[in-house]
Amino acid sequence: MKIAVIALGKIGLPLAVQFASKGHDVVGVDVNERIVQLVNEGTEPFPGEAHLQEKLSELVPAGRLRATTDYAEAVPGADAVVIVVPLFVNDQTWQPDFGWMDGATRSLAEHLTPGTLISYETTLPVGTTRTRWVPLIEEISGLQEGADFHAVFSPERVLTGRVFADLRRYPKLIGALSDEGTRRAREFYEAVLDFDERPDLQRPNGVWDLGTAEASELAKLAETTYRDVNIGLANQFARFADQNGIDIYKVIEASNSQPYSHIHRPGIAVGGHCIPVYPRLYLFNDPDATVVRAAREANAAMPHYAVDLASAALGGSLANQTVVVLGASYRGGVKETAFSGVFATVAALESRGASVLVHDPMYTDEEIAGFGWIPYTMGGAVDAAVLQADHAEYSALVPDDLPGIRVLVDGRNVTDPAAWASVTRVVIGDGEAR
């Protein structure tokens, strides 16, 4: 098959590589000329994705994969077009910004030829495929869905850093607009993916048809919103535990010892492209979903709560205190700040009068400064530290790394309590923060 992949980001590029590795001819489209250049050189444009470089080194020289900025080079004559363009959500209004996806859809529609399967993998509000993208494609291309082309929503369900493993492990969900679209989508994904055996599933792993695009859209929103709600519940339990001298980690371990409880871990922040974003996309359709909204608000408040703990441990004031935030990334081992808790943590500390520094082993001092923060070098004097990202390096952190430190707020519970016996170490939900 000839396949076009629109947007060669941290999900789109591995998808393009996966498709090419199955013997198909793949052209990736991206507006970033530097990414296009690097892909055509066989060089990964971003670090940290397992097996990506080795696959690029094999597929690009073999002519199976190339990149371009020109839709006219990729879309005409394609058997399938897969779209993984980012959909942004306004951090203040929680409203989706369809701008980039509207632009990508218009561009592909301008070059669409009959017989193409169009698959949207970007997570969307329910109904978007049918009521927004398909009418736009029909209007611009003059072609009719169900006769001249077929549209399907098939959400990406992978985690950056392990995309190729996740593609094999998780069922591929599809939701088309017609029986023929369903047949084409199943045929396509069975030709480009392999699936691990999953005896834990009630039916065989593989392509799962959910019947409609709307059901497939909701499935992606549901599985991610569940995690946000679960974390929100864990955080509320943790705050209650702090007020009542209870160790919530022991409680969660005990609760999860039977098969009907799956309580997640509390923590300082929920970041990334998915968990803090997709509940907002759900709320776009269902604004009265009180449980979803309350969980999102509870999780968004956790950086401020962590700063409250730091202030209390320092005697009630952060004014003129030097505080380092450990971790700019939204999670450990990933060089990415999307919706990271670092932003709210720094803002909350500064609002209390603290002098704030930021450290992250994955970022250079220049990159830290590029965010508008003052970079911190281990060994510099501080009064307190707030651990925001669970980088592996921080698990071995000791007071000597942070001379003068009097308080550590470990927002991820990753440091060794024994190593911090001489310092006030505060963990959200351990029952000591009161």
Active site residues per annotation:
220, 274
Query: Which tokens is 404 given?
Result: 């003068």
Distance between CA 278 and CA 294 in Å, rounded? Answer: 14
CB crowding 100-128: b at 16 or more within 10 Å, else e: ebeebbebbbebbeeebbbbbbbbbbbeb
Distance between CA 44 and CA 355 in Å, rounded? Answer: 38
| CA proximity to 150, closest of 181, 186, 195 | 181
User: Under a CB-based contact definition with an 8 Å cutoff, are residues 358 and 371 in contact?
Assistant: yes
The 10 Å Cβ neighbour count of residue 180 is 12
Distance between CA 387 and CA 33 in Å, rounded? Answer: 36
For the purposes of burial, counting CB atoms within 10 Å of the CB of 297, is it exposed (0-12), middle (13-18) or buried (19 or more)? exposed
The angle at the Cα of 253, spanning 249 to 258, to the nearest 5 degrees, equals: 155
State the pairing for strand pair 88-89/96-97: antiparallel
The 10 Å Cβ neighbour count of residue 87 is 20
CA distances from 403 to 126, 153, 391 (A): 52, 53, 20
Collapsed DSSP state (helix, strand, coil) of residue 361: coil
Distance between CA 427 and CA 385 in Å, rounded? Answer: 12
